[in-house]
Structure 1
Amino acid sequence: MKNRFLDRYRYCQIGYEEEYGVFHSSYYRLPDKRKKLKVVTTVHDFTYEKFLTGPAKWVHSWQKNKAIRNSDLVICVSYNTAKDLQQYCPVDPSKIRVIYNGVSDSYHPIDALSNEESQQAVVFVGARSGYKNFTLAVESVAVVPSLQLQIIGGGKLSEDEIKHLERYLPNRYCWLGRLSDEELNQTYNQAYALLYPSSYEGFGIPVIEAMRAGCPVIAVNVSSIPEVAGDAAILVNEPTVVAFSDALIKLPVMRKQLITAGLEQAAKFSWGRCFEETLAVYKELLAK
């Protein structure tokens, strides 16, 4: 484990012998021998800088800054991340390219599952600590007696999380663990909504996954979320129980509209488009 951890912070050894090419890292690595390689770094977010303290933050930020400053071009996964980049590691704006993430083709509406009687589960996906506002999600769902909470991924529930769930949602929650794309797509199709209460995201892939599956989204109007969700989600201005529970209560009258708008919004994002735009960055560098 120790060596695997250290490997993340070493120069990346490459056997590339050509005179020129492109080295692209999505986790702030640099090649051990620069030669005539053009270097591209993808920046996903600034979670460490915003929310962590101590050695983990220092080491990560040092590595990230070093990679960014030694890159010929920097790809940011959203304009919000590009803005954060200029706050935490200012660079020449001409070095920045914004290329959105994509979404798997595994997500799509399943007509046989779109039974409104079964749509009483609110879905929470991913990590649950701190700025992810999991406790707010629990308390918000508790306000609407007809709803249940399905918790996906993020590791097993802690004792404190179970206590909180038992206090607010006894017999109204379940942890589904880590699901495959196909299983998650089915869960989205059967859900009342995706509740995504995070106070910060570099992109927010679950928002697009849910929309592509025809699942309404409730999220916070902050960081990259409005950029990614557009007008196709219910976005609350502040992450509070009142705001989220109100959104859950009023969702039925907006459901069909949100599903239609969500499918249109999600269609703007694909890994194919991400690939083509990334390839264009490589060609741009090699042409210089």
Structure 2
Amino acid sequence: MNILINLLSSLKSSTDPFHGGNEYTNTIISDLIKRNHEIQKKMFFYCNSELSIDQDLLQEIKNDAHCQLVFNTDVKSISEVITKYAIDRLFDPLGISLSGSHLKDIEVIYTIHGLRYIETPTDINEYFLESKLKFLFKTIFSSLYKKKVIKGYQNAIELNAKTKKLIVVSEHTRNSILAQFNTDPKNIQVFYSPEKLYTKISNNDETDFFSKNNAIEPTKYFLIVSSKRWIKNTYRAIKAFDELIDSGLLNYKIVLTGSNAKVEKHIKNKDMFYTMDYVSKAELEVLYKNAFALVYPSLNEGFGYPPLEAMKYGTPVIASLITSIPEIVGDAALGFCPFSIIELKSKIIYLQNDDILYSNIKQKSVERYSVVSDRQKKDLVKLINVVLE
């Protein structure tokens, strides 16, 4: 059997090198290659260039005799790849991109991570942090935009394939699809996003990081990640922190990763914010481990890795209670409405000033991470079996 893995839409980009779809794909592909050592099926990886693939994963593909890279500069479409290499089965880790492909003669397994563009088409964060024109277009032509987006998802969900298996990464995504589309629940399988390929850090890594970034101290900062992406709701979080600083109610600094000039121009008390662009995986681990708390005000997630990444270290999380996030964090985080600056402020004050609460959340965080991590491991085995069976 020949299996095609479509990597075009799920690999890293210069604007967002660590997005969830990329991390999801890396983990699954690495595990697929390891498992295929026993089964020895031919796997083709369709991508735009070697530069779009993480280097460790690229070496795994190159070093395996049963794996072959196929570039879209050489073969222009998925349909052409299917014909040229006699593909029997296609796996797409970000299956929304398949809606226009001709797949009726092969088996298709594909993942839809969420219905973000239906559930949260835009927000004032997009206006302030990314594109005023996009925000205005989506607002003025909201009905037209929503109709187009729904059609795209519908085409993907209703793929015309020989056989198809639709994978989703959370119960929330499954239920959202069922609520929006007339789909048989039996056609949807829920496998949690697998644990990321974590970079181990040492005491020296931590010492070096804080020596280089000496404006912040371990355990004395709130952390916000992926700040420049409007869906992460950084604009409201900045407003909440600035108002607390103005009132003399904040004890710690705020670290923003994935930041840029558009984000930073909205910061009033600049001496209390430490802004960074996207950091390396090792640096991000150091930040998660040593934060006083992670603040995760996201407006939409299909799964949501960052809360788990913090909980792994027992770092408390303040998280928005929307889409998949409550499912993932359970009762191990302080939840708030992501559209309410006042509610976010109250949760920050609560966590900062109540030592007993802080200790309880730390303990619950580790316990919750263990529960979700256990399911992630089991679900990864199930997903690999589905792709290779």
Q: Is the alpha carbon distance of 1:210 and 1:257 closer, same or farther for their aligned partners in structure 2, counting shifts above 3 Å?
A: same
SS in 2 for 1:100: coil
Q: Is the alpha carbon distance of 1:269 and 1:148 closer, same or farther for their aligned partners in structure 2, counting shifts above 3 Å?
A: same
Alignment of 1:224 with 2:324, yes or no, is yes
Maintained 8 Å contact 1:10/1:29: no
Q: 2:260 aligns with which of 151, 156, 164?
A: 156
Q: How far, CA to CA, are the matches of 1:131 and 1:279 in structure 2?
A: 30
What residue number does 1:42 align with? 111
Unaligned stretches of 5+ residues in structure 2:
1-47, 49-71, 122-137, 208-216
Q: 2:342 aligns with which of 237, 242, 247?
A: 242
SS in 2 for 1:269: helix
Superposed CA offset, 1:73-116 (max 9, x none) = 211111111121123333111101111112335277978969xx
Maintained 8 Å contact 1:131/1:198: yes
Superposed CA offset, 1:101-136 (max 9, x none) = 12335277978969xx73221111115455532122
Alignment of 1:209 with 2:309, yes or no, is yes
Q: How far, CA to CA, are the matches of 2:381 and 2:298 in structure 1?
A: 30
Q: 1:132 aligns with which of 205, 229, 232?
A: 232
Q: How far, CA to CA, are the matches of 2:279 and 2:196 in structure 1?
A: 14
SS in 2 for 1:28: helix
The aligned amino acid for 2:189 is R
What residue number does 1:260 align with? 363
Deviation at 1:56, TM superposition (A): 7.3
1:189-208 aligned at under 5 Å gives the runs 189-208=289-308
The aligned amino acid for 2:362 is I
TM-score normalised per structure 2: 0.61
Q: How far, CA to CA, are the matches of 1:10 and 1:126 in structure 2?
A: 32
Maintained 8 Å contact 2:294/2:317: yes
Maintained 8 Å contact 1:75/1:97: yes
Maintained 8 Å contact 1:103/1:209: no
Deviation at 1:236, TM superposition (A): 1.8
The aligned amino acid for 2:368 is Q
What residue number does 1:89 align with? 181
What residue number does 2:10 align with? none
Superposed CA offset, 1:15-70 (max 9, x none) = 4426x4453442324464543x2212211111212333368766654443222201
SS in 2 for 1:102: coil
Q: Could you say which structure has the greater relative contact order, defined with CA pairs below 8 angstroms and 6 or more residues apart? A: 1
Q: How far, CA to CA, are the matches of 1:91 and 1:16 in structure 2?
A: 32
Q: How far, CA to CA, are the matches of 2:324 and 2:196 in structure 1?
A: 19
SS in 2 for 1:171: helix
Maintained 8 Å contact 1:157/1:175: no
Maintained 8 Å contact 2:195/2:377: no
Q: 1:233 aligns with which of 322, 330, 333?
A: 333
Q: How far, CA to CA, are the matches of 2:225 and 2:193 in structure 1?
A: 18
TM-score normalised per structure 1: 0.80
SS in 1 for 2:261: coil
What residue number does 2:36 align with? none
What residue number does 2:383 align with? 278
